[in-house]
Structure 1
Amino acid sequence: MLIASAGAQAQKIRISAIFVNSEAQAQEILGKLRAGENFGALAAQYSIGPGKDQRGDLGFFDPEDLLAELRDTAQQLEVGQLSGIIAVTNGFCIVMKTDQKTPEALEAMAKQIEQWEFHQDQAAEFYFQNRFGEAARHAREALEIA
């Protein structure tokens, strides 16, 4: 089984971030984002932090695993929404929430996986029963000929 219990899982959020050294640069980038420029392109061009090579994508997180400076802001954002400028230890960042998985969605995914595994097990059992039955039939035929 791939997932033991999704009921114990917390909400997961996916974020993208642009990290820069100066507040002035963060202001400039935020202005470009608000004018409609692409987050990923700006992250690839300007970010000095993790995710730069992934166009700012940092992946899914349990909010509790995020830097304290980012946690509250990231949780409050709607999917697709930008943060303002956030001061972090080594500079400034702008965050965008790109996806969110609630415990209910994770539970539904776990049930789908369990159903898929159940059907896969049934198919394997059916296959082996048929192969065993076919082998037994060939053995009987061989004995009848002899």
Structure 2
Amino acid sequence: MQVKISTLAAALAVGLITSFTAAAVQAKPHAPVEIVGTVQTQQATLKIAFESAAQQVNVRVHGVDGLTVIGTRSPVIGGTFAAGQVMTLIVNYTPGSGTSNLAVQVDGEFDGKRRSKISSFTVQNGRPTVSGTAANISVDGRGRRIAILPAQTK
């Protein structure tokens, strides 16, 4: 009986690994850009590095959980950037009470395909947070908060 249980357990494990691998392959690729930022009390300096050439690029900034962006929320509309080009943006905002977030969305045509990437920066009580979880919270295209979890390692 133990042989059958072991065989069944192995078969289940192989099935789970296969389905996990298939799900990972079907994931939507993100835009080949790197978004980094320095968050201060009421201002963020964002650097967007383009890893490949892009056309029709839109950059949007959103406040989440009470954070209000001051000025334009769409600093780039229909831009064109070369591979390796780095763009710097200054975003002024009023932080929300408690913990709030500044979300940055970059979308455009990369290698003939429309792609998007979103990053989020956390501000707590008007001060930048120091925790490592800030990069794990993001905002989807509809402004809903989502958590991005790291890949499982063996």
TM-score, shorter chain, exceeding 0.5: no
Between Structure 1 and Structure 2, which shows a larger proportion of helix residues?
Answer: 1
Between Structure 1 and Structure 2, which shows a larger proportion of strand residues?
Answer: 2
Q: Which has the higher contact order (CA 8 A, sep 6+)?
A: 1
Q: Which has the larger radius of gyration?
A: 1
